[in-house]
Structure 1
Amino acid sequence: MTAHSTLAPVAVADPDPRCQVVLRAARRAFMTQGYAATRMEPIAREAGVSTATLYLYFPSKADLFAAVIEDAGRDFSRQMECVRASSGPAREQLTHFMTAYAGFMADPFVRSVFRLVMAERPRFRDTALAFFERGRSDFGGPLIRALKDLDSAGELKVAKPSWAAGQLMGMIEHPVFFMPLVTGDEIMAARSIDEIVGDAVDTFLARYAVN
């Protein structure tokens, strides 16, 4: 499991920069070793802080794990701010939106975080639910609003925007996210992102476009 990311770090709420360094070190440890095998002392050493300072920030490994997932969620939210529908005809808007979304979901770092959250869900149910709820709001919300606008403009006929958004996102997620997530990146989609998005938008418009 890789801890590499194409996403830029986002500052955490704590103003002390050492806290951010600790979170980055902990993120790498949890992703490479898993929760059970991760120890606090090596994280403190890698972050260049004392163990006492680490425990001052995070009283337990469970607290540190929850903070790491929250920090990753902030990274995701920042990245998804760039995923917005553009102006123009329905095909142009949806292609722009879904190309950005596909690029985000294809990031190996994104899959690594999801694998970690899924693996530790029984132990951190509330943390996992908050993470997935944040993702649903950040990812689905902008697309639902765009579909409503296109429906109002008479370009689409969408009775259930949330259902339609889920269908379109699902056509993207299966090849670029879920397939490599399940196979450990051993099997990747043969089609390019542009081809996947093009096929998905064609299928979606065949169902919802107003002729």
Structure 2
Amino acid sequence: MLIGAGPNRSERKKAEILTAARGVFLKEGYSAAGMEVVARMASVSTATLYAYYPSKAKLFEIVVHDTVRLMAEPVRESLKVQGDARARLTALALAYATFMTEPATRAIFRMVTSERRRFEAIADHFLKSAHQELGGAAIEVIESLIETGELTAAQPAWAAGQLLGMLDHPTLVLGLAAGDEAQPNRPLAEICADAVETFLARYGA
């Protein structure tokens, strides 16, 4: 019992540090974020923080990589929805649009982009992984609907890009241009319904 407690506690502590660091980086930006602040927010000593993460740059890198993993979870959960093409595409669209309207989502995209010169490899990894994870979920749904004969698309990846592209402008792009807290004038359900109808008009069997 005690043997297993050490590693479990260690993993929990690392997760708490990453959560605290993500909040500090998003609020303060990389340059202004201090390791002492991260340690205080995570309720650990600075020495403990450095024992887990030897530098602020390394901590930032791991926070970004961890965020990529977390960001796609709600969208991938939407793949469990059953029903016809409209129901499944709407579930995906709503999960994606909801995610892209969250202030934290806009903040992480903005932060990674702003730090591109300093962390080019990290920024490239983040954007590529986000594209693969989120776009991959859309491709998976579309390919499934092609197999059932509900959609006809010679290039599922292109079709996925078109669907998500219709959602990007009123959600993510709006936030990046008008501020992380900015929300669309229309309800997300209405935006998603319009996007799905347009998509089905083009690709519906």
Matches within 5 A, 1:162-177: 162-177=157-172
Which piece of structure 1 moves more, 13-22 or 23-32? 13-22
User: Which residue matches 2:75?
Assistant: 80
Q: 8 Å contact 2:170–2:184 — kept in the other structure?
A: yes
Aligned residue number for residue 63 of structure 1: 58
Secondary structure, aligned partner of 1:48: coil
Tell me what 2:175 maps to. 180
**Residue 151 of structure 1, CA deviation:** 2.1
Residue 138 of structure 2 corresponds to residue 143 of structure 1: yes
- Please tell me whether residue 17 in structure 1 is matched to residue 12 in structure 2: yes
Alignment of 1:123 onto 2:118:
yes
Q: Structure 1: any 5+ residue segments left out of the alignment?
A: 1-12
* 3-state SS in 1 of match to 2:77: coil
From the superposition, tell whether residues 63 and 14 of structure 1 become closer, same or farther in structure 2 (CA, over 3 Å).
farther
Aligned residue pairs: how many? 198
Counterpart for residue 6 of structure 1: none
Aligned to 1:196: 191
- Whole-angstrom distance in 1 between the partners of 2:145 and 2:12: 44
Equivalent residue for 2:85, pick from 83, 87, 90: 90
Check conservation: 1:85, 1:94, Cα contact below 8 A. Answer: no
User: SS of 2:170's equivalent?
Assistant: helix
- The alpha-carbon deviation at position 33 of structure 1 amounts to 1.2
Q: 1:19 to 1:87 in 2, by over 3 A?
A: closer
String of CA shifts for 1:9-40, please: whole Å, max 9, x gaps.
xxxx9944222222222222211111111121
**Which structure features the higher share of helix residues?**
2
In structure 2, how many angstroms separate the alpha carbons of the residues matched to 1:120 and 1:192?
A: 32
Q: Is the 8 A contact 1:147 1:156 kept in 2?
A: yes
Alpha-carbon separation, structure 2, partners of 1:183 and 1:74: 26
Alpha-carbon shift at residue 141 of structure 1 (Å): 1.4
TM-score, structure 1 length as denominator?
A: 0.85
| Unmatched segments (≥5 aa) in structure 2 | 1-7
**1:63–1:200 CA distance, 2 compared to 1 (3 A):** same
Measure the CA separation in 1 of the matches of 2:10 and 2:126.
23
The equivalent of 2:41 in structure 1 is: 46
- Preserved CA contact (<8 Å) 1:143 1:165: yes
Q: Distance in 2 between matches of 1:184 and 1:158?
A: 36
Question: Structure 1: how far apart are the matches of 2:67 and 2:181?
Answer: 24
Q: Cα offset for 1:158? A: 0.5
Report the alpha carbon displacement of residue 102 of structure 1 after superposing the two structures with TM.
1.4
Which residue does 2:94 correspond to in 1?
Answer: 99
Deviations 1:22-59 (A, max 9, x none): 22222222111111111212222332222222111111
1:42 and 1:187 mapped to 2: Cα distance?
28
- CA spacing shift, 1:14–1:203, aligned 2, 3 Å: farther
Q: Is the 8 A contact 1:85 1:97 kept in 2?
A: no
Question: Is the CA contact 2:89–2:196 (under 8 Å) kept in the aligned structure 1?
Answer: yes
What is the CA–CA distance in structure 2 between the aligned matches of 1:54 and 1:200, rounded to whole Å?
Answer: 45
